[in-house]
Amino acid sequence: MKQNKLNYIFRNLLTIFLLLAFSKAMAQTPQVPKEIRFADLTLRLNEQVRREIQLDVDALYRNPTYFKTKLERVNLYMPIVERELQNGGVPTDLKYLVIQESSLIADAVSTSNAVGFWQFKKGTAEEVFLRVDSQIDERKNIVSSTQGAARYLKKNNAQFNNWMCGLVAYQMGLGGAKSYFGTQYNNKKVVELDRNTHWYFKKFLAHKIAFEGNNVQLVSNTGYLEEISIQGPTTLKAVASRLNVTEAHLKEYNKWTSNGNIPGDRPYSIIYLKSGLAPTPAITQTASTENVTEINYQDTRYSQSLRQVNTYPKVSGNTSKATQPNQILVNDIEAVQAAISTTQDEFTDQIGIRKAKFRRINDLSKKEPIKAGEYYYTAPKNTKAETEVHIVKKGETLWSISQKYGIKLSSLKAKNRIRVDNHLVPGMVLNLQEHRKRGEDIKILPLNQQNLTTKPATVQQSSPTNSTQAQTAPTPVSQEVKQSADTSRIVHTVIKGENLFRISQKYGVRVDEIKKWNNLNGDNIQLGQKLTIYKP
């Protein structure tokens, strides 16, 4: 009882401390500058428009509790929003539009009956290939709706080659924006803003300034959003049991399915809250350039795959019941583990799937035995893997590699123009996403670079002696975060899936600071790009 009381007191003191810190931060409302970088544009503001936007920024900061609630949603959803915008060829600067439109509330409805994260009306949603009917409303799915928003924004911008006009067209429609702007801003990269600037764009800039990396470190989220792709037909209830979460939890974060049913027409993205911090790569000391000249491909994919090889296959769900159907996902695909070695007939009867379908999904011949401990898919594999390449190891086959990453065997063969196992060589770099170009040789890593993951050397921050010892161990070629002689300065190498928002969270700095330190004009960064970070 005494311990519970102490815990209660501690939690209350911590809450008070966070509120005081947050209130203090809120008092430091960001000021609107005279010049703003937005997407690929330079915006120059006269004093009158600057004051107008400042009033909107001040209004957003006026209620600390409300602002903090928004920041918590931004902290959760923005990594997914940034990723989908970038994948859709849209500058990630436009991410602030989703805050303006819905405050990142999945089932928000406007007075004009626009719905969801990006506030689509039904007709517009269907134009950008979102499903909206009595069962499914993808306007409430953060992944699908952001993909739709990216399509819509990119289509509008194509008419102007000016993201300010493209953004205003999001509110007015393309015809309205053409009538409003004419061609005066087409292809312009420097725009003068004044009191006549469209109100919607001024409101957007207020949201950009208010939420651009500020105060993210004060947000007290207790987890991060994990995304998986599910091919139905199934239900949220069935998926919940595999993920060890409640059905109510999945319903809270997946309001796009009205009755908890997931149809089988195509895969759907499901999100759920996981506790702790979002996974980030281990900090490693990079090898010296003298040791890596043999694989000077100027591409981080090879070392990244060497680092990730032991993370595949990725198994999630109720792993304690992995040998039972409908309990686990392997590489985000429904699967089951064989408890014993047996025949296909016995195994398919046990897990309740037709033999022909099972063989087709797993690329098996009729007489191929089932091996104890192996994972077998019960839903179709993908046409490409999550990671870009695989480095072939001794004893691997095309089939074992396809199962490891959940990629169809025919796709793996086609991407690499390899048809038989005896053409595989240890160290060979196989593509898992893109097709190898005609006439392009398959790269083979030198023997001394094929097992860099065996003893990764972690950076020891405690003493120079430990740091020196770490450098002598075999280490990955890239994907590093390299500590310089000046302990406040870090060189971070961008890996797959990262964006400025995630990197700013990792180091407790602001996005605009990272841009300033690295002379970045926009939010787009490239795989393998090196960024200088000054830790506070």
* 327 and 359 inside one domain: yes
Long-range contacts of 126-135 (CB under 8 A, 24+ apart): 127/152, 128/152, 134/258, 135/257, 135/258, 135/259, 135/261, 135/263
- Which pLDDT belongs to residue 219? 45
In a domain, 49, yes or no: yes
* 233 and 135 inside one domain: no
The answer to whether the beta carbons of residues 288 and 470 sit under 8 Å apart is no
* 522 and 418 inside one domain: no
In a domain, 512, yes or no: yes
Of 218, 239, 254, which one is at a domain's C-terminal end? 218
Q: Which pLDDT band, with edges at 50, 70 and 90, does 500 fall under?
A: confident
* 505 and 356 inside one domain: no
* 398 and 525 inside one domain: no
The pLDDT of residue 521 is above 60: yes
- Which pLDDT belongs to residue 489? 73
* 241 and 263 inside one domain: yes
* 302 and 178 inside one domain: no
Query: Of the given ranges (431-440, 479-488, 527-536), which has the lowest mean pLDDT?
Result: 479-488
* 419 and 361 inside one domain: yes
Q: Which pLDDT band, with edges at 50, 70 and 90, does 35 fall under?
A: very high
Which domain does 262 fall in, by range?
Answer: 223-275
- The pLDDT tens digits of the residues spanning 76-110 come to 999 999 999 988 889 999 999 999 999 999 999 99
User: CA of 450: how far to CAs of 303, 304, 426, 513, 528, in Å?
Assistant: 9, 12, 8, 37, 20
d(CA 517, CA 402): 42
- The pLDDT tens digits of the residues spanning 262-319 come to 988 888 899 999 876 665 433 222 222 222 223 333 344 555 555 555 578 888 877 7
In a domain, 485, yes or no: yes
- The pLDDT tens digits of the residues spanning 224-271 come to 898 888 888 899 999 998 888 999 999 999 999 989 999 888 888 999
* 294 and 430 inside one domain: yes
Higher pLDDT, residue 30 or 473: 30
- HSE at residue 466, side-chain half, CA atoms within 13 A, is 8
Residues of the chain above pLDDT 70, percent: 77
d(CA 166, CA 168): 6
- The pLDDT tens digits of the residues spanning 349-372 come to 999 999 999 999 999 998 899 998
- Which pLDDT belongs to residue 3? 53
The pLDDT of residue 44 is above 80: yes
The pLDDT of residue 462 is above 60: no
- Which pLDDT belongs to residue 529? 83
In a domain, 371, yes or no: yes
Query: Of the given ranges (145-159, 198-212, 327-341, 517-531), which has the lowest mean pLDDT?
Result: 517-531
* 191 and 232 inside one domain: no
The pLDDT of residue 384 is above 50: yes
In a domain, 259, yes or no: yes
In a domain, 8, yes or no: no
Query: Of the given ranges (466-480, 485-499, 504-518), which has the lowest mean pLDDT?
Result: 466-480
Q: Find the CATH number of the domain harbouring 499.
A: 3.10.350.10
Query: Of the given ranges (147-156, 241-250, 464-473), which has the lowest mean pLDDT?
Result: 464-473
* 326 and 343 inside one domain: yes
Q: Find the CATH number of the domain harbouring 129.
A: 1.10.530.10
Confirm whether pTM is higher than 0.75: no
Number of independent structural domains in the chain: 4
* 262 and 308 inside one domain: no
Quick one: average pLDDT of 479-497? 58
The pLDDT of residue 483 is above 80: no
* DSSP secondary structure string for all residues of 177-222: HHHHHTTTTTT-SEEEE-TTS-HHHHHHHHHHHHHSSTTGGG---S
In a domain, 116, yes or no: yes
In a domain, 284, yes or no: no
